[in-house]
């Protein structure tokens, strides 16, 4: 046993692989249910795109969360894992016809619509089936988030959502249509947000928009504020569970929810981020001209976040108690960006040491690719051992 891991269990396993600690996951889900449950009308969905491992999805489904999907494949994965269609919401700027038809056939809770062109297509496809699709409009609130530029989504310049000035026209268009029913508004400002003021700014924007709609006697039943709550990548042991209390309290305090409205959340990273670890082994220690490399058998094909966003993941050598040395931890892929960390301190590494790359439960396994003809990493949960 080293740190939080019983590594004896993993000693004969082929690396790299993902391991999901369902103890951490269940505690996280419990915290979400407890904290959201303190507020009338709060409903939490899980953003499937963060991690669609069937075993992980199943645990989340059992905790009673709904699912937030961004593709037909995610809707199928959610249904297979046991999520009821009545708790599925479906967003995305480019929904294809088969994906919309799938949502219609299943009778999902809502389509989060991102353009007038899409609304017309949903109405046509619903008409062909003699159905009525529930739609919410994703509004681009032009609210920035203090996070990586590639993961802000709520600025006017981003491709997501409907411009605020087009909000009333599209709602009015929907009311004229026979095969769609307008139910509410949807927002999502970005990811890995730890600054509660960003969520507060979203609340203020929504309050303004609600007043505009009320002046026009438009009734809104659901407000969906998306996800985006961040996790503590630096301290996965000390802060394994995000501060859901403050997060939900921020919305309770600043968003003026009407008594008949429900408030929906779509949390991804905050649900699964800390329960996942990517396990890898050192293949070689290489003394470069000016630095030392720990070359591991996982690469950017298994976990792309460091290469894509320069993201930080805590890395630990589980096999060694020897003094710390400084390494660049790199993978085997033929790309210079295939680097997990530069100049970090690890207990002295030897060939074959088991290395843990922490906080890898979100946007890890799901983003894996077969580049370099690599096998996709396998994913295990606590119950598999
Ligand atoms: C990605 C996404 C989420 C989840 O974001 P997290 O930062 O992982 O919580 C929620 N809603 C929508 C529409 C998304 O695209």
pLDDT less than 70: residues of the chain: 1-3, 145, 147-157
Which residue from 268, 271, 275, 309 has its CB within 8 A of the most atoms of ligand 1, so it is best to mutate? 268
The string of DSSP codes covering 144-182 is: --SS-GGGB--STTSSSSEEGGGHHHHHHHHHH-SSEEE
How far does residue 150's CA lie from ligand 1's centre (Å)? 13
How far does residue 102's CA lie from ligand 1's centre (Å)? 21
Alpha carbons 243 and 157: distance in angstroms, whole number: 30
CA neighbours within 13 Å on the CB side: how many for 379? 24
pLDDT reported for residue 2: 65
Strands 276-287 and 17-20, by their bridges, are antiparallel
pLDDT, tens digit (0-9, with 9 covering 90-100), for 200-237:
999 999 999 999 999 999 999 999 999 999 999 999 99
Atom of ligand 1 nearest to the CA of 267: 9
With a CB cutoff of 8 Å and minimum separation 6, the contacts of 123 are: 133, 177, 178, 179, 180
Alpha carbons 350 and 322: distance in angstroms, whole number: 10
How far does residue 7's CA lie from ligand 1's centre (Å)? 33
pLDDT reported for residue 159: 76
Atom of ligand 1 nearest to the CA of 151: 7
How far does residue 69's CA lie from ligand 1's centre (Å)? 9
Alpha carbons 212 and 176: distance in angstroms, whole number: 20
CA neighbours within 13 Å on the CB side: how many for 169? 8
How far does residue 345's CA lie from ligand 1's centre (Å)? 33
How far does residue 77's CA lie from ligand 1's centre (Å)? 17
Please state the φ and ψ torsions of residue 157, each to the nearest 5 degrees: -75, -15
Please state the φ and ψ torsions of residue 15, each to the nearest 5 degrees: -105, 160
Atom of ligand 1 nearest to the CA of 266: 10
Alpha carbons 307 and 147: distance in angstroms, whole number: 17
Q: Which residues line ligand 1 (CB under 6 A)?
A: 47, 49-50, 68, 70, 91, 188, 191, 226-229, 266-270, 362
Which residue from 32, 43, 49, 192 has its CB within 8 A of the most atoms of ligand 1, so it is best to mutate? 49
Strands 315-317 and 354-357, by their bridges, are antiparallel
pLDDT, tens digit (0-9, with 9 covering 90-100), for 227-270:
999 999 999 999 999 999 999 999 999 999 999 999 999 999 99
């Amino acid at each position: 046993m080293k740190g939080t891991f019983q590594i004896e269990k993993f000693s004969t396993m082929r690396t790299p692989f993902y391991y999901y600690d369902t103890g951490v996951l269940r505690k996280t889900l419990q915290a979400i249910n407890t904290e959201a449950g303190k507020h009338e009308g709060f409903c939490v969905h899980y953003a499937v795109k963060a991690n669609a491992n069937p075993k992980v999805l199943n645990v989340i489904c059992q905790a009673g969360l709904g699912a937030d999907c961004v593709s037909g494949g995610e809707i199928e994965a959610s249904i297979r894992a046991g999520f009821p269609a009545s708790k599925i919401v479906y967003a995305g700027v480019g929904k294809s016809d088969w994906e919309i038809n799938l949502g219609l056939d299943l009778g999902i809770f809502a389509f989060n619509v991102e353009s007038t062109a899409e609304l017309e297509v949903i109405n046509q496809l619903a008409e062909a089936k003699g159905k009525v699709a529930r739609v919410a409009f994703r509004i681009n609130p032009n609210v920035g988030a203090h996070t990586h530029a590639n993961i802000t989504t709520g600025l006017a310049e981003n491709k997501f959502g409907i411009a605020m000035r087009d909000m009333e026209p599209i709602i009015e268009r929907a009311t004229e249509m026979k095969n769609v029913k307008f139910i509410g508004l949807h927002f999502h400002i970005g990811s890995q947000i730890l600054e509660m003021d960003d969520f507060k700014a979203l609340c203020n924007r929504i309050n303004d928009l609600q007043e505009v709609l009320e002046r026009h006697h438009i009734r809104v039943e659901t407000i969906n504020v998306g996800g985006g709550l961040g996790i503590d990548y630096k301290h996965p042991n000390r802060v394994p569970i995000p501060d859901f209390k403050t997060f939900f309290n921020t919305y309770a305090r600043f968003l003026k929810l009407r008594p008949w409205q429900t408030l929906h959340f779509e949390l991804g990273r905050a649900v699964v981020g800390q329960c996942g670890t990517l396990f890898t082994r050192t293949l070689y220690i290489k003394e470069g001209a000016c630095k030392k490399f720990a070359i591991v058998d996982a690469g950017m094909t298994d976990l792309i976040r460091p290469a894509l966003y320069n993201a930080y993941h805590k890395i630990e050598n589980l096999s060694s108690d020897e003094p710390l040395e400084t390494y660049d931890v790199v993978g085997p892929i033929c790309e210079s960006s295939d680097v997990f960390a530069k100049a970090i301190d690890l207990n002295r590494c030897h060939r074959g040491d088991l290395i843990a790359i922490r906080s890898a439960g979100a946007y890890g396994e799901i983003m894996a690719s077969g580049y370099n003809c690599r096998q996709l990493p396998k994913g295990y949960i606590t119950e598999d051992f």
